């Protein structure tokens, strides 16, 4: 039994696979159950953190 299948270029194979993928819908979970997930949108702090100047002496490191 002989096989006549030829190898497909990697770029063509990846294009075929990636073109079939669809993003999953966002899922709302509690913070304690979110471990291992990816954020669906950016999270912004309500203000600067810390809300005060933290250095005791400016310009000294």
pLDDT in tens, 1-57: 567 778 999 999 999 999 999 999 999 999 899 999 999 999 899 988 877 776 767
Residue 47 has what pLDDT? 87
Residue whose C-alpha is closest to residue 41's, from 25, 53, 52, 22: 25
| Calpha distance 26→23 (Å, rounded) | 9
| Calpha distance 38→16 (Å, rounded) | 25
């Amino acid at each position: 039994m002989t096989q006549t299948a030829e190898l497909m270029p990697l770029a063509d194979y990846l294009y075929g696979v990636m073109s079939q993928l669809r993003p999953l819908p966002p899922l709302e979970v509690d913070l304690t159950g979110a471990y291992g997930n990816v954020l669906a949108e950016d999270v912004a702090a309500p203000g600067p953190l810390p809300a005060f100047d933290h250095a005791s002496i400016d310009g000294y490191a």
